[in-house]
Chain A
């Protein structure tokens, strides 16, 4: 089962290292990882997605809590969160295919960032699952490059971590 863990940490050198080290050391696989500052520049937020049993996530949460640089850890409720990921995708495009690509983009709400005689660069922010299907739709046109940020997520409602 996929689980989303949100971690607030001191914005300090080595913190990310400590956290990822904690996962690899215990053979926990990270599916997705996104890091960025919060409203308070001394604090960063790390969003981690792991695919594994409850027991393991529980253990990860406790281990994370022990790190001195970690301020707060929360596993987000899967059916009650807003999770988004940004993808930039470069695809082969010719006069023949450009229109078809545009149609799919408008269905998904993707933006065209750049265009050249032989390619298009598209941008889409959505749930990881929607990004996956968009990627599948683009595959027949021959994808040149895909870059994804990893998921960031918050709990719905007024509650905060």
Chain B
């Protein structure tokens, strides 16, 4: 069947069951938006205030729903505005297909108006980029792009269409093929063959070796990493942890992969890890890491990390094996599948003494009773008032660590946080994407006064689309996380981290047509949140807290994992 090339693009999105796109139009992408006008009943477009917000929203949508996110932007500045969002998705293995349009073929390479080599720029921050110059290749490219984004270790992909490729008179041959069938089409099949697009099949002997190693271990520890979340392997992980009868440490990205409230959970591991998790890593004789890449924020000092243990690494990405930490054994494969095989072969273990040793280090959070509002009071109020399955999107800084330490995430996609790239400004976009993808859930956005300023213009998106995202600003009047380092390591030389400036966040919220509340004690916080939840509208709660509160515990970067600078 002959169709317009832009029609083929829309149909290809429908093949992938895409019903939501985040984006921002402009000159070169006009043809695509013109076609979108025909498809507006099938493909719902969310116009953000800024392309970065659209990128984070598509990312947050992907993380929270497990589907592939889609984001449109125009050439030049539209495309470059995406880059922070693309890198954020890449570092956290979030599947997003970014679609940009470039100048027309005759203008390419001439420094034409709004021309930029976005496929070149995006190369190191994507799994693949495609520059489409031939309209006939559109279906193949889009199908491949989605397959690459969603399979193996997920991640972002960018497609750049030249404007002439999308011209209304470009007709191409096109047949609708549902994605379940098109994953078998020839171009993707050859890809699948050579690149293990699908998850590599775990080696059966490798599983047996691990079962043996477990049999010999007295003090095993499991780490739940982001791979458990991305691979939606939470059920299999739970069964494994129970059978292994061992403590479970959770990385920042692993939040939601294993219930934080479970008795075996020892909390976060690494720089701001709990004493229980970090001591366990140091004392264990077998460390099994599932879908975690031993980043410098987790392993801290690779040379001394888990030095008494045999380290076993389960990961879908072969290149992660032995990259940061040398391992004694590894299994390459999808977390869910590997754990299923393991669970079949593993008999019930028992490690009562070791569990006692580690789990006794767990400390219940004590929420201070005082007049001045504290981060824990804010978080505890949220925990008590919102439904248990609420989604939490954070920004980056102290409030991020406090949020993750305090909340117990119960399922994959419940926590949205920029772990790998640490992108300030991620939270509001991600919260918007999550709310669009999960209209039935309450979405809380915890942020800092610094981060919020970076993308607060997305409040207009919250208001316009009537997305009841609740933003809670941990307003400490400073770039708290940086100030914490200055406090501890730079002799209190507070260079450029004081945020004694506007705007008034309550008035700002109101200017965007939303409710704003300023709260300075626990009662006010409770009242504001109750009102916010009841209003069913987006709102901003400006929670004023002390400037010098710190994230505890803390192990400095590169130090041994139990060398706590702060307890």
Name the A residues within 8 Å of B323 (CB-CB): 59
Say yes or no: B318 contacts A65, CB within 8 Å.
Answer: yes
Q: Which of A13, A66, A68 contacts B191 (CB 8 A)?
A: A68
Name the B residues within 8 Å of A66 (CB-CB): 127, 195, 317, 319
Contact with B along A18-30 (1 / 0, CB 8 A): 1001100100000
| CA gap between A152 and B237 in the complex, in Å | 48
Contact with B along A137-149 (1 / 0, CB 8 A): 0000000000000
- Report which residue of A14, A58, A66, A69 has the largest number of chain B beta carbons within 10 angstroms of its beta carbon: A66
Question: With A14-B129, A68-B191, A72-B194 in contact, do A59 and B123 touch (Cβ < 8 Å)?
Answer: no
Contact with B along A94-129 (1 / 0, CB 8 A): 000000000000000000000000000000000000
| CA gap between A58 and B321 in the complex, in Å | 10
B418 within 8 A of A: no
Say yes or no: B123 contacts A18, CB within 8 Å.
Answer: yes
| CA gap between A71 and B129 in the complex, in Å | 16
Say yes or no: B123 contacts A17, CB within 8 Å.
Answer: yes
CB A148 to nearest CB in B, in angstroms, measures 28
Question: With A14-B129, A14-B131, A66-B317 in contact, do A55 and B322 touch (Cβ < 8 Å)?
Answer: yes
CB B334 to nearest CB in A, in angstroms, measures 15
B387 within 8 A of A: no
Name the B residues within 8 Å of A52 (CB-CB): none
CB B318 to nearest CB in A, in angstroms, measures 5
| CA gap between A117 and B106 in the complex, in Å | 48
B470 within 8 A of A: no
Q: Which of B148, B317, B319, B321 contacts A68 (CB 8 A)?
A: B148
Name the B residues within 8 Å of A67 (CB-CB): 128
For A22, the closest partner residue in chain B by CB is B124
For A18, the closest partner residue in chain B by CB is B123
Say yes or no: A14 contacts B191, CB within 8 Å.
Answer: no
| CA gap between A17 and B122 in the complex, in Å | 12
Say yes or no: B131 contacts A21, CB within 8 Å.
Answer: no
Question: With A68-B191, A68-B195, A72-B194 in contact, do A14 and B319 touch (Cβ < 8 Å)?
Answer: no
B553 within 8 A of A: no
A62 within 8 A of B: yes
Say yes or no: A13 contacts B131, CB within 8 Å.
Answer: yes
Name the B residues within 8 Å of A38 (CB-CB): none
> Which residues of B from 118 to 152 have beta carbons under 8 Å from A?
119-120, 123-124, 127-129, 131, 144, 148
Question: With A17-B120, A68-B148 in contact, do A59 and B319 touch (Cβ < 8 Å)?
Answer: yes
User: Contact size class for A?
Assistant: 20 to 34
A63 within 8 A of B: yes
For A72, the closest partner residue in chain B by CB is B194
CB B196 to nearest CB in A, in angstroms, measures 8
Contact with A along B102-122 (1 / 0, CB 8 A): 000000000000000001100
Q: Which of B194, B319, B322 contacts A63 (CB 8 A)?
A: B319
| CA gap between A63 and B144 in the complex, in Å | 20
Name the B residues within 8 Å of A17 (CB-CB): 120, 123
Q: Which of B119, B195, B322 contacts A58 (CB 8 A)?
A: B322
CB A35 to nearest CB in B, in angstroms, measures 17
For B190, the closest partner residue in chain A by CB is A71
| CA gap between A70 and B323 in the complex, in Å | 20
| CA gap between A14 and B129 in the complex, in Å | 9
Name the A residues within 8 Å of B119 (CB-CB): 14
| CA gap between A72 and B321 in the complex, in Å | 19
CB A96 to nearest CB in B, in angstroms, measures 51
Say yes or no: B128 contacts A68, CB within 8 Å.
Answer: yes
Name the A residues within 8 Å of B131 (CB-CB): 13-14
For B155, the closest partner residue in chain A by CB is A66
CB A68 to nearest CB in B, in angstroms, measures 4
Name the A residues within 8 Å of B194 (CB-CB): 70-72
| CA gap between A66 and B222 in the complex, in Å | 27
| CA gap between A65 and B127 in the complex, in Å | 12
Name the B residues within 8 Å of A72 (CB-CB): 194
| CA gap between A25 and B321 in the complex, in Å | 19
> Which residues of B from 284 to 332 have beta carbons under 8 Å from A?
317-319, 321-323
Name the A residues within 8 Å of B195 (CB-CB): 65-66, 68, 70
Question: With A14-B131, A68-B128, A68-B148 in contact, do A62 and B123 touch (Cβ < 8 Å)?
Answer: no
| CA gap between A17 and B121 in the complex, in Å | 11
| CA gap between A55 and B323 in the complex, in Å | 8
Q: Which of B120, B129, B191, B319 contacts A65 (CB 8 A)?
A: B319
| CA gap between A67 and B128 in the complex, in Å | 7
| CA gap between A58 and B49 in the complex, in Å | 44
Say yes or no: B124 contacts A25, CB within 8 Å.
Answer: yes
| CA gap between A67 and B127 in the complex, in Å | 7
Name the A residues within 8 Å of B319 (CB-CB): 59, 62-63, 65-66
| CA gap between A1 and B342 in the complex, in Å | 39
> Which residues of A from 67 to 82 have beta carbons under 8 Å from B?
67-72
| CA gap between A18 and B129 in the complex, in Å | 10
Q: Which of A22, A25, A55, A68 contacts B127 (CB 8 A)?
A: A68
| CA gap between A13 and B131 in the complex, in Å | 9
Say yes or no: A62 contacts B318, CB within 8 Å.
Answer: yes
Interchain Cβ contacts under 8 Å between A and B, 10 examples:
A14-B131, A21-B124, A58-B322, A59-B319, A59-B323, A62-B319, A62-B321, A68-B127, A68-B195, A71-B194
> 8 other contacts beyond A14-B123, A14-B131, with CB at 8 A cut-off?
A13-B131, A14-B119, A14-B120, A59-B322, A62-B318, A66-B317, A66-B319, A67-B128
The residues of B with any CB-CB pair to A shorter than 8 Å are 119-120, 123-124, 127-129, 131, 144, 148, 191, 194-195, 317-319, 321-323
The residues of A with any CB-CB pair to B shorter than 8 Å are 13-14, 17-18, 21-22, 25, 55, 58-59, 62-63, 65-72
4 A-B pairs with the lowest CB-CB distances in the bound complex, closest first: A62-B319, A68-B128, A62-B318, A63-B319
